[in-house]
Structure 1
Amino acid sequence: MAPVVFPNPVSYVAVAAPVLHVAAVVYLTYTVVTSLATSYRALGPPQDTRSRQGRRSKLVPVFAALAVLAVTVASSSAADGAILSYRVWADQRGLKAPPSWYPHKNSLGHKDTELYLGQWLSDTPVYRDTLEIVAERSRRFWWGQQIDLATVAWSSFVAVEGRRRGIRNLPSFLTLAHLVNLSYAQNLFYLALLVTPSPLATNHQDLVFPSNPLPRWRRIRSRLFASKPNAWHPRPFIFYSSLILGLGSVFLLPYAAGTPSFAAVALLSRASTFIPVLAPYLVPTSWGKVYATPHEAYSSLTTMFRFISAMSLILHAKASAVGLAHNAPDSHYHRHSAFLPWDIDERSKWERGTTAIGKILGSISDHPAVQAVGFDVLVSAFSLGVWAATRAADVRRILASAIPGVSAGHDGKEPVPAANTSSNPDAVVSQGSDNNSNNNEEEATPARRRRQTRASTSKSTQEEAHIPGAPRPRKGRSSQRALASVPHDNSNNSNGDVSSETADQAYEPSPAEAAALQEGDILPAEELDWEAGALAWGLTALLGLGSASSGVFGAECTAR
C-alpha cells in the first residue's frame, strides 16, 4: 500500500498542545494538593478540636469523591470527543479509521490501520471545535453559558475568601476550572475551605511543601509587587471592570461562533475571570482601601454578587427564550454528525413531537463536548447545594445576594466591635462566641432553631459522657442515674487523664490566634442544613447556575 501524502506538514506546536495540557493539569493538581496539606498542617489548636476533626473526616471524603467524579466525567468526554473528531477527519480524507486507539492487527498479523495523530492535530483545531460546537446552537449554549456565568461568580468568591483565609496558589484553582471543568476546581476549593477554617498564620510559609519549581519567582514577585495588608481590598471598579468584560464576552460567544473572532472572544471570557484573583497582587495600594473590620465591606460584596446574579439571570433568560424558540428539525446536526448513530431521519420526526424544553435538556447527548458541559453543570449544581447545606448558609442572605431588592435583615454595615486582644485573649474567644451565638439566634429560622436545640442537647450529652470516671449509660436507663454515680473526687484518675486535663486548662490562645478566631468559621450544627441546600438547588432550576452560585457565594462571604 502506497504511503499517504498529506499537503500540510506536521505542526509540532499542535502536537505538543495536548501533552502540555495534561502535564499542566497534573502539575496544578499537585500544587493544589500541597496547598491543602499546608493549610491542614497550619491548623491551630482552636481549629483542631474533636468536633471539627469529626466534621472534616465526614465532609472531606464527600467533596473529594465529587472532585474525582468531575475529573472522570471530563476525561471520558474528552476521549470520546477526540475519537469522534479523528474519525471525521479520517473520513474526509478517505482514510480508514481504526476501531480503537490501541494497535490493532488483522487475521494475517498486519496492522489493520495506521494512526496519523500528528497530522490530525495539525489539520484540526481541536480546542476551537470543542468550544464552537457548544456555542453554535442555542440549545447547547444553554448548558455552556451556565458554566461560564457560574465561573464568573466563583472567581469573585475565590478572590474574596481565598485571600482572606490566606489560601495559597489561588490561580491554580481557577486554571483547573478552565483546563478540566468547573466542578472539579470548585470541589477542590471547597476542600481548601474545610481545612482552612480561619486565616492562616503569618508564619505558615515554614510549613509550605516544595511545590514551586521556580523558587526565584517568589523573590522577584515580592520585589516587583509590594505586599498589602490583610484588611486591604481593591476598589469595586476593579471587580466590576472584570465582570463587564467577562459577562460581555459570554454574551458575544454565540454570535462569534463560526467567525474568525471566536477565538479572541472565547479567550477574553476566560482571561477576565483571573482579574479578581490577580488584581490584589498587581494593582498599587492606592487602588484599594483598608477596612478596620471585614464587616465594613459587606455591603459592597452583597452589591457585587447581586450585580452578577442580575446579569446572569438576564443572560440565562435570553438563552432559554432563544433555545425554546429554536425548533428547527435539523438543529441537532453538527460537524461530527456523520458518525453518531442517533443522527438519523427518525430523530427529526421525534423532535417534531417533543416539547422545546425536552429539546434543550436532550441536547446534552448531541456531542461529547456538550455532554461534558452538561454533566459539569449537574455536578457543580449538586456540589453547590451540598456546600450550602454544609455551611448552614442563611437563606435570607442567599436570597439577598441572588435576587436584587431582597433584604437580608442585617446589611452588615455596622461592624462588630473588636475585642481587646492584647490584654485578655480568653475574653476575645468568649466574646466572639457570644457574638456568634447572638447572631445565630437573631438570624436563625424556626427549623434551624430546632436543629440547634438538638445539636446543643447532643453536645451536652457528649460532654457528660466524656467526664473522667463516669460510666457510660446503657439503653433504657436514666441519664440522671448515670450522672449520680460520677465521683466528685478526681484523685483516682490516671496520670494520663490528669496530664491531658492540665494541658487543656493550661492552653491559652495567643493574641494572633484570638484575633483569627474572630475571622474564623463558626462550627455549625452536626446536622447539615438541607434547607439551604434545597434553596440552592431551587435557584439553580429557576434562575440558572450563575444566579444560584452568586447567592450561595455571596452569603458565604458575608456570613462571618
Structure 2
Amino acid sequence: MQIPGSELIAVGVFCSYFSIIAGLLFLILRSLPLSGARLGLGRAHVFILLALTSFAHTWFYMFKFMAWSFRNYEQSKGIPSTGQLIERMSRWLLNTSLFEQAWASVCFGKVNWWWSQQLCLYTVGAWTIFLSTEGRRHQVKIIWAYMLLGQLVAISVASNLFYLALVLAGPLPSQAVQRPSEQWAPSALWIPVLVSLGTIATSPFTDDRTFLPNLLLMHFLIVIPLLVPDALFHRPQNSKPFLSLTIPTLYILVFVAGLVMHTRATSAALGDPALTVTEFAQSAWTVLHSHPAQSSIGWDVIWTSVSFVIWLILQPGQELTGGSRRLVTAAYLLLATPLVSVGVLAPHVLRPREDELQEKKNA
C-alpha cells in the first residue's frame, strides 16, 4: 500500500484537528482556577454535566456528518466500497473540504440559516464580549482557548467550561465591581465584534465564491479581542481609553443588530404567506434533523441556550437575590430565550446596569 504524499498530508491535517482539540482541552482543564472551588462545587458539577452532555450530543451528529460526507464522496465519484480503508479515507480527505461542506449545509436554506444564525449572533456578539471582559476580571487564564475550542468542537461545550471557570474563580469582591460607565471596551474588542456582525448580516447574500472567505473572516476576527494585552481592558478611573466604547453601549449595539438580523431571518423562514406557529415549529424541527451537520449545530444552539439560562440562574452572587425574584427571572429567561434566541437575549441581560451594581455593593 502506497499513499501519495498529498493524501498523507490530508490525513495528517485531519488527525491534527483532533490533536488540537485534545491540546485545548488539556490547557483549559489545567488552567481552571481553584480559589472558589469549595464555594461553587455544586454549581461546578452542573456545568461539568452540561459540558459532557452537550459534547456527546453534538458530536454524535458530527461523526454522523463525517460518515455521510465519506459515503457521499465515494458515491458521487463512483468509487467502489472496496480496498484499503485508509486509502479511501485519504482520497476523501484530500478532495473534500469538511469545514466548508458542513457550514454550507447549515447556512444555505432559510430555516437552516434561522438555526445557524442564532449561534453566530451569540458567539460573535455577547459571548466574545463576555469572554473578553469577565475572563479578565476573574483572571481566567488563556481565554482565547475557550473561543478556539468553541469553534473546533461546539460553543455549548466551550461556554460551559467557561462558566465552570467562573464558578471556580468565585464571585468578585464588592470593591472590585466597577460602575458600568467605567467599564470600557477598547477598539480591539468592539471593532472585531461589530465587523463580525457584519459578516453575519451578509452571509445570506454570499455565493459559492464569497461564502468561505466571509465565514473565515468571522471566525478570525472574534479571536483578536482575546489575544490583545490585558492592559487595554484595565485603565485608571476617570481615564477613557482612546477610541473606546463603554461595555453597556457595546452590548446595546450588539442587541439591536442581533434583533434586526434575527427578525429578518425569522421573517424569511416563516415565508410568504407566513406559516403558523405550529407549522413553523414543525418545519424547524424537520430541518434540525434533515442533515447531520445541521443537527450538530442546531443542537449546539439548543444546548448553548439552555446552558446560558442555567448560568444566569446559578452564577455566583445570585444567592443574594430573593427567591421570588429568582423564580421570576428564571421564568422570564425560559420563555424569552426560545422566542428571541440566545443571540438576542444574551447581550440584553448581560449588559451591566447601575441598579445591579448597587445591589451587589449593598449585599
Fold shared per TM-score above 0.5: yes
Q: Match for 2:287 among 338, 363, 373?
A: 363
C-alpha displacement of 1:382? 0.9
1:96 partner SS: coil
C-alpha displacement of 1:550? 1.4
Are the counterparts in 1 of residues 51 and 161 from structure 2 also a CA contact under 8 Å? yes
Q: Which residue of 2 aligns with 1:83?
A: 67
C-alpha displacement of 1:369? 0.5
CA offsets, 1:91-139, max 9 Å, x none? 12222347xxxxxxxxxxxx79885011111111111100111111111
Letter matched to residue 115 of structure 2 = W
Q: Match for 2:156 among 176, 183, 204?
A: 183
Q: Match for 2:215 among 266, 269, 272?
A: 266
Change (3 A) 1:388 1:198: closer
Change (3 A) 1:176 1:530: farther
Q: Match for 1:532 among 323, 329, 341?
A: 329
Change (3 A) 1:198 1:57: closer
What pairs with 1:11-50 in structure 2 (closer than 5 Å)?
Answer: 11-36=7-32, 39-40=33-34, 43=35
Q: Which residue of 2 aligns with 1:125?
A: 97
1:290 partner SS: coil
Q: Match for 1:306 among 226, 243, 252?
A: 252
Are the counterparts in 2 of residues 384 and 536 from structure 1 also a CA contact under 8 Å? no
Letter matched to residue 124 of structure 1 = T
Change (3 A) 1:237 1:288: farther
Q: Which residue of 1 aligns with 2:300?
A: 376
Q: Match for 2:270 among 312, 320, 324?
A: 324
Letter matched to residue 31 of structure 1 = L
Q: Which residue of 1 aligns with 2:242?
A: none
Query: Please, which moves more after superposition, 232-241 or 26-35?
Result: 232-241
C-alpha displacement of 1:9? 7.7
Q: Which has the larger radius of gyration?
A: 1
Q: Once the two structures are aligned, what percentage of the paired residues are identical?
A: 22
Are the counterparts in 2 of residues 324 and 356 from structure 1 also a CA contact under 8 Å? yes
Letter matched to residue 87 of structure 1 = R
Distance 1:160 1:533 in 2: 24
Are the counterparts in 1 of residues 51 and 160 from structure 2 also a CA contact under 8 Å? yes
Are the counterparts in 1 of residues 262 and 340 from structure 2 also a CA contact under 8 Å? yes
C-alpha displacement of 1:241? 1.2
Are the counterparts in 2 of residues 385 and 534 from structure 1 also a CA contact under 8 Å? no
Q: Which residue of 2 aligns with 1:546?
A: 343
Larger relative contact order, structure 1 or 2 (CA cutoff 8 Å, min sep 6): 2
What pairs with 1:241-256 in structure 2 (closer than 5 Å)?
Answer: 241-256=191-206
Q: Which residue of 2 aligns with 1:163?
A: 136
Change (3 A) 1:84 1:305: same
Are the counterparts in 2 of residues 387 and 533 from structure 1 also a CA contact under 8 Å? no
Distance 2:304 2:63 in 1: 21
1:279 partner SS: coil
Distance 1:375 1:76 in 2: 11
1:291 partner SS: coil
Q: Which residue of 1 aligns with 2:108?
A: 136
Change (3 A) 1:194 1:292: farther
1:116 partner SS: helix
2:251 partner SS: helix
Distance 2:88 2:218 in 1: 33
Are the counterparts in 2 of residues 384 and 533 from structure 1 also a CA contact under 8 Å? no
Distance 1:119 1:247 in 2: 36
Letter matched to residue 72 of structure 1 = A
Change (3 A) 1:556 1:171: farther
1:188 partner SS: helix
Change (3 A) 1:246 1:326: farther
Are the counterparts in 2 of residues 165 and 196 from structure 1 also a CA contact under 8 Å? yes
| Alignment gaps of 5+ in structure 2 | 174-181, 240-244
C-alpha displacement of 1:269? 1.0
C-alpha displacement of 1:280? 3.6
CA offsets, 1:289-339, max 9 Å, x none? 42269xxxxx92222212111111111111111111179xxxxxxxxxxxx
Q: Which residue of 1 aligns with 2:324?
A: 447
Change (3 A) 1:446 1:81: closer
| Alignment gaps of 5+ in structure 1 | 99-110, 201-231, 294-298, 328-350, 395-436, 449-528
Distance 2:111 2:5 in 1: 37
Is 2:119 the counterpart of 1:147?
yes
Are the counterparts in 1 of residues 155 and 300 from structure 2 also a CA contact under 8 Å? yes
Distance 1:255 1:393 in 2: 43
Aligned length: 342
2:169 partner SS: coil
Change (3 A) 1:307 1:393: farther
C-alpha displacement of 1:392? 7.7
